[in-house]
Every structure is written in structure tokens, then in C-alpha cells.
Chains A and B, each alone.
Chain A
């Protein structure tokens, strides 16, 4: 100690030298750390994701596996698979083919529609109707895609259909467990605008109370804010664990067929409807056609109210859940809706020529067409498939009755 003291402290030069060396040493080391920070931080993120997955796995085993299966492949009739290409939006080809067929059909139909409309126009004398027809013709002309000119639509469709059937043939097991090859992307099916992480997180956070209408037991809310047992960081762990099932481009048909249970998509499911409606067909989304169909159908406001409040189910067999959102906060309130449509909406130049009924029908079957200011375009676009003409008439009667 004394030696050291003599050597270092006694002479001012040594002190200065040692001090300067130390300061430069610090600079060098901090610089060295700084240079390596990028790599270190990346490694840390990787490691903390890995730990998060580990914790998520433990949470899954203790809280989720009883319904979603130990391997996440779902349990028949209990809850859908999460270890599942459909959830990750992996299309084995059938979805793409379906879209191509739909496009071909659309183009083919447009091309047959055009001469029919033109013939109608030639025969029409009423100037109002003529104007409407002219507009429609213009719309059809605009929709015709010249890239499809000269195509043998039917042959193409048959060829694609054959491809589709071949693929679907390899998915028999999955289809039996609820897979719809035409709609292979879960997030698209539910109309989720965000990413998968957000979908999983919010589903865990708030649960899905309505799922009790199509599952024996609803998915409970897991977050403490929603009355569940878990903190948000635990939900994150769980989501990280679920996301770790994603195999990216490596999903195989075997994975698909190993799934025990697929998600049920309420708005599209066709089974389970009440009997007298079993042979009715959905209204679709063509407003002009629907308006024709509605003619002479008597609406029942009482049943409309029951439908609106999810006490009755429409053609689709699954409760509509209108009242869940139409409270004036998430979506415009139902009270006084009709009157508002007549006095406010129809005054908008964009809606010139609409009747109130036409507007409401369009808003139900094609909600994205016009979104009231101050609200988000979140209303599902699937009601055209879920409602029969009678269902729609009943709803209209109910909404009409509220407006007065």
C-alpha cells in the first residue's frame, strides 16, 4: 500500500499520467460498448422474446389448453385451433382460386348484363327511369375490365374449379372440422383491419362474450381490466407463444388436417338457421335487386326488434348483435334513425336520388358505402349473407317504428 502510494501519489506527473490514461480508457471502453450496442440490443430482444414465449407456454398450459388443446390444435366442439394455418392467414391456394373465379364470374356477368340493360333503356320512355338506367349502364361499362376481353370465361372457370377441387380434396379432414377452403384467412373472414398480434391480444383481453352463441362456452375475458386473471404483460406472453406457432411458408396440408376444430365464422355459417327459413336465400348486396325483392313483403317490427337485440336469429343462424354497437357511441343510435336519415343524410349531395329505405338497406348490406361522419367504418360487411328478405323487412319495420 505504501509502495503504491509512493509510486502514484507522490509525483504530480504520475498522477496526471494515470488520470489521463484512465479517462482515455473510459472513453475507449464506452465507445466499444456503444459500437456493440446494436448487436447487444438485438440479442436482448431475441432473448426476452424467447423468455416471453416460455412464460406464455406455461400460461397456455394452465389456462388455455383445456379448451384449445394441449397442442393448440383445438378440441372438437369446444374451441378452435390456434396452431392453425388459417389463423396465420396461410392460403394453400384455394382462397386465391376462389377469388379468381369470382373475378371471372363478375366479368362474365357484367358482359351479359350490358346488352340486357341497353335493351331495357331502348324500350323505356319514363325519363326518370331512363336516367337511372343510363347511370347503371355507365357503372357496368366502367366495371368491365378490358384485360378480360376475349376470354372464354366458362372454360377458365371450369379449369380453375378443377384445380380447386383437387386441392380441396386433400383437405377433407380439415373441411370436416370446419375449414372453408374458399375463405382461408381467418382475419379476412372476421373483417379484422389490424394485424394478427392485435387480433390475438384484444381477443384475449376482452374475451369474446358473444361466442357463447356458437360455442358451448364463451371465450372468457383474460385481462384484469376486463375482470379476468391476467396482467397485460402476461397476455403479451401468451400472444408471443401463440404467434410462435406460425410456420410462415412452411405450413403443410398435414398441419391443416391435424387441426381438430376450426373457428366458426358466425356471419357466414349457413347451418343452424330456423326451419321455416331454411330454404330462403340471403338477400345479397345488390341494393336495386333487394329493393325489388322487398316489394310486397310485410315487415314485422316486433320480430325486427328481437333480431336487432339478438334475441332471435336471422337466416344465418347467428345472432346479429346490432344493439351491441348502435348505441350512439360506437355506431349511430337506433333511436330516431329513420328521421335522421330523412332529414340529415339524404340532404347530403352524395346521396341524391336515394329514398330513406334504400339508404338504410344499403347501410345494412353494404355498410362501407357511406360512413356517417364521426364514426369508424367498422360495421361488418357480412349481413347481406346473414339476412333473408323477411329478416331485412322486419328490421326495416323496426327501425322505421323507432323513427316516428
Chain B
């Protein structure tokens, strides 16, 4: 008879006692949750013992549960080690989920609008506990995923795992590669900083080069001729909706195909032309429960551990200044995984290299298994394919290298040097003057001429002479004129360059580096001197003015024009100078109007003016620019 009118656990307790009844209840629950394994089964599995009851309870979850029905109940021992998969497919999958989870967390604080997106990023970094941590994880995960997926592809290439019957698995893989690349790229825009805007502008403008439909594709992508509110929204929707859907659908197909055909065995392990992956001899079976399950859980822990370590100590996602379509940063680059396209662009036409080449590459990859139908998967029979694979790797590496902004860009030397000194932090690099400790930014006027001092001569005396020289040849006047244009109050009439004080060694190191950079560019910047002028702008805020003064040379398309002796051709200008006679008195002549007629005053007398003559003179050029540095900006951290 039941305690209550219907059967309950109370009956069990009555019958077996509390302890036993509770244990049984938990045991049943566990068995239900695992769809077949009770506590004892799990304990045995984790101890590495054989299952003690029949039918084998470790197989039931694969038959009955939703999640495990996707996983085979056993694998061939030959494919569960590091070789031949290198765990790359597993890692790719890991990152799919890793990115989904971290991405959803970030979505909580993000609004896709140009007015607020950047503010959102600052908020995530400065106001959301663990916000920076999650953002770094997501960003690092995204970049790692691109790399891992590419490596995964290369490993299936080298082990010839795309061959019959796995052609379609490979094809869906190419779709996944495409989706992964675009996911990373579309995410790139979302912080709406300079890095994002310009990288994506470059990318999107390549689409424009497509013949016939380029304009439309571009418009469709950006939602407007310029990347703005609509473009951001579209990229956002691509990033959080369209591409993830594509990725998950194809991941489903991909993995289904992988399971259906079984993991391909190492090429040596089977006869040529045969595929025995699905026929696993009893002695080669490695059961999912417990071996692969523990293995995967371990890798889950280890990989996440590595990610966390990287993010805490080694990697922080970049955030540059707010996106500004008006300001093109020097040295804009695509994200590193698209550098190869940027490199290719330097070799040829925008459409050919920017669109046709990558599309063709993707197309060839997609159909590769249908082209390479040779039956043997053995390495020694695949010399050509392996060579091609290595070639693909080397070509993309070389192209990527060429895609770096340092390669073959012709910016004039003075701009390049000043940029080297003061550039905003970007791509983990910054102008060398920024990390100088604030206390070492001692107010004063300093010049690279300081390092021209001949051995054994007094620096102060040398600089006094330098000051006198530039006052005389009006290079100082030129400098001051330019400075005044930029809201700089010049209080001193005489140049007052001085040696860097001793307690500012890092500033001195920067000045010296500046000096060497000028020396290296002597061809383009003859007789150059540089200046670093430090003034106090506000409490805790200093203004750094940088200047280069040099003798102009002829430049054509970014290159110095050389004469027949290999010397740079000086840049000359025509100036009007007053004519004086031998006594130094001005020579007077009649004034002429634009028709060449003599101008007369009301009495009909010609008006006399001082004569001038045209003189060729070497152009002295100057460039100044300035930045501000705040005590708390902490560039050196």
C-alpha cells in the first residue's frame, strides 16, 4: 500500500530506508540525463574499467541522446592521436562555439550605430566588469579561428582527405572557410574606430572593382556610397546573423559528412584506392565514452586555459581613435588574414588582383577534389599536390608580406620620419616619442644638430653657433612662421635651441633616433636638421612640436630625381629681389601696368618704383607637426 494515494519516493524510503532510496533516486536521474549511464557506469568509465553490465551502457547515449547521437560511439585508434588530424577540425569547432558565446556576451553592450558604437567600446573597456577580458577573448578567438581553419584545410590537403568519398566534405569546408573569413572581417568594422573604418573601406572598395555589378555590390554592402550608419548596420547583421547562420548550417552538413564517411585513416594505413575508415577492427576501436570524452573535455580545459593566459598577459584587442572618414591614417592595412589580397593588389589591377584572383582561388579550392581524382593518398604518389600545397602557403605568405604597409609605399621621407616619431598607437606600434616618460618631456627647444657636434667640442657652444646660423639664413623665421600657423605662441625672437638636459635620457634617445633617420634619408633630405620643441599647454599636458628643415630636391612620383652624376637635382625657385647699385642704394625704375605701359600720377609724371630682378634660389623646405601628450595617457604601459 502506498503512503500517499499515488506512488511516490516516500514508498521507496519506507521500503529501502532513506539513504538507499535517495541514492536510487539520484541514480535514476543521472541515468535519464545521460540517456543510459547510471552512477556506477560513469564511475567505471572514468576509472578506465570495462563496463560491468550488458548491453554496454556506454553505447546507449549514442543511440538515445540528442547530443551524443551526433558523435560516433567509437573511433579508429589511428585517427585519435595528434597525427593525422592535429586536432584542427576539433579546434575549429571549439572556436565556433567559443566565438558564439563571447560574441553574445558582447552583444549585450553593443549598438550598431556610428554615433554610439565607439562609445560602447569605451564602455565595455572602462565600465563593464570583465568587459575587456571578454572582448579580448572574442577578438583573439576570431583571429585564431581564421588561422586554425586555414591550417585544418591544409592538413586535409596534405593527407589527401578530400579524396573520394569526401569531396563534398571538402566543398562544405570551403564554404566554412569563406564564412569564417567574412565573419572575422565583418566583425572588424564593429568597434567603429579608425582601424575598422579604413580596413573595411579598403576591403569594400575592392568589391567596387568588379565589372558591371561592382557599384551595386558595393552599394548593397555599404548601404550608401560612403561607409556610414547603413553600412555599419549591414555589417553588424552579417556578423551576428547571416554569416553565423551560414556557418552553423554548413558546419552541420560538414560534420555529418565527416561522421558518415568516418575520419580518413593515415594514408599509409590502407591500400591504395580503398577507403576503410568505416570498418574499424575490434582491436582498433577507441570508444567515445570514456576515452574521447575525457580527451575532449581535457582539451576544452587546456585550450581555454591557453586562451585565458594569452588574453590576460599577452594580447589586448586594439582600439584606435574614433572612425573619421576625413582623416586617412598613414599605413592603413587590411587585417592580417587579408594582407595577401592587399599584397596582390600591389602587383596589378584592382579587379584582377583584388577580385578575380581571390575568387578564382576560392573557386579552384572548392572544386579541387573533383579535379584531383588520382586514387592514391600516399605522400610519395602526390608529389605535385604536396608541392602545390606548399606553394600555396608560401605564395600567400609572400603576398601577405608584400601587403604590409612598409612594402613599396612611396610617402615622402619627411612625412614618414615625423610619422615614425609621433604616430598614434596602431597595430601595436606607436610613435617613438609617445612612450617617453612624462617627467622627461622637459620644456625646451631641442635639435638634432646636437649630434653633429664634432668630437671634443662643447655642445653648448656648438648649439649657440647653430642658433646664430639659422637666425641669419632665415630658417628660424621659416620655422616660427609655420609654428604660428598652428596656434603656437612663439615668445622668443632669437632661436634658443639647447642641449637636452641630462635627466631626460629617453628623450635624448628619441632625438638621436630622429637624427639617424634624417641621416638615412640624406638623399631626399639634404642638410636637414630636426627639432623637438616641448611646451607646457595645461597642467599635465604638454605640446610636442616636431619639425624638419631641409634643402628641397626635385621629386617625381615619390622618387628623388637624380642628375647624370647620380646627385639629386636641387629644387629651385624664382624670387624677386630688389636691385641695388654699387653703393647699396636702391635702383629706381618707372612703374609699368599689366600692358607694359608706364603708369603716371595725376601730373602726368611717371611713378618710380624700386627695380627688382628675378633670382634663382634653392628652396629651403620645412615641415612641422605637433601632438599633445597627457601625463595620464600612459603610452608606455
Contacts and interface: CB of A to CB of B under 8 A. Distances in A.
A: contact size bracket: 35 or more
B126 A45 contact: yes
At the interface, is chain A mostly helix, strand, loop or mixed? Answer: helix
Interface in B56-104: 80-83
B539 A247 contact: yes
Interface string A125-166: 000000000000000000000000000000000000000000
Interface residues of B, number: 54
Nearest to A66: B487
A175 interface: no
Most buried by B among A16, A50, A232: A50
B82 A54 contact: no
Contacts of A13: 48
Interface stretch (A21-29, A109-117, A206-214): A21-29
B166 to A, nearest CB: 25
A377 interface: no
A48 interface: yes
A395 B630 CA distance: 53
A121 interface: no
A44 interface: yes
B304 A22 contact: yes
B418 to A, nearest CB: 15
Interface string B519-556: 00000000000000000011111010000000000000
Contact of B321 (A34, A53, A55, A62): A55
B617 interface: no
Contacts of A232: 115
Given A41-B126, A57-B543, A16 B46 contact: yes
A343 to B, nearest CB: 45
A192 B46 CA distance: 72
B322 A16 contact: no
Most buried by B among A9, A21, A54: A54
B489 A71 contact: yes
Contacts of B291: 12
Interface in A24-56: 25-26, 29-30, 32-34, 37-38, 40-41, 43-51, 53-55
Nearest to A225: B115
A66 B115 CA distance: 28
B253 interface: no
Interface in A285-315: none
Contacts of A49: 632
Contacts of A33: 130, 133, 312
B127 interface: yes
A231 B129 contact: no
A54 B488 contact: no
Interface stretch (B183-191, B292-300, B355-363, B367-375): B292-300
A12 B294 contact: yes
Contacts of A369: none
A1 interface: yes
A24 B500 CA distance: 53
B141 to A, nearest CB: 15
B295 A9 contact: yes
Interface string B480-502: 00000011110000000000000
Given A12-B48, A233-B322, A244-B541, A26 B294 contact: no
Contacts of A26: 301, 304-305, 308
Interface string A56-67: 011011100110
Contact of B301 (A9, A19, A48): A19
A57 B130 contact: no
Interface in B110-137: 115, 118-119, 122, 125-127, 129-130, 132-133
Contact of A5 (B81, B133, B537, B633): B81
Contacts of A51: 630, 633
A18 interface: yes
Contacts of A62: 486-487
B627 interface: yes
Contacts of B295: 9, 15
B32 interface: no
B46 A48 contact: no
A54 B130 contact: no
A70 interface: yes
A1 B298 contact: no
A29 B630 contact: no
A374 B115 CA distance: 31
A37 B82 contact: no
A37 B538 CA distance: 30
A5 B132 CA distance: 35
Given A22-B298, A30-B308, A12 B543 contact: no
Given A54-B628, A66-B487, A34 B541 contact: no
A53 B294 CA distance: 53
Given A5-B81, A19-B301, A51-B630, A44 B294 contact: no
Contact of A9 (B81, B129, B489, B540): B81
Nearest to A47: B634
B621 interface: no
Interface in A226-272: 231-234, 241, 244-245, 247
B302 interface: yes
A1 B631 CA distance: 49
A369 to B, nearest CB: 40
A65 B487 contact: yes
B309 interface: yes
B203 interface: no
Given A16-B294, A30-B308, A44 B132 contact: yes
B258 to A, nearest CB: 21
A337 to B, nearest CB: 39
B298 A50 contact: no
Contact of B305 (A8, A9, A25, A46): A25
23 contacts: A5-B82, A12-B48, A13-B48, A15-B295, A18-B298, A18-B301, A19-B297, A19-B298, A19-B301, A29-B309, A29-B312, A34-B130, A37-B129, A43-B634, A49-B632, A50-B631, A50-B634, A51-B633, A54-B541, A54-B628, A57-B541, A58-B627, A70-B487
Interface of A: 1, 5, 8-9, 11-13, 15-16, 18-23, 25-26, 29-30, 32-34, 37-38, 40-41, 43-51, 53-55, 57-58, 60-62, 65-66, 70-71, 231-234, 241, 244-245, 247
Given A11-B48, A19-B297, A44-B132, 8 more contacts: A15-B297, A16-B294, A29-B305, A34-B130, A44-B126, A45-B126, A53-B628, A61-B543
What 8 pairs across the A-B complex have the smallest Cβ distances?
A: A22-B301, A65-B487, A19-B298, A50-B630, A50-B632, A61-B487, A57-B628, A50-B633
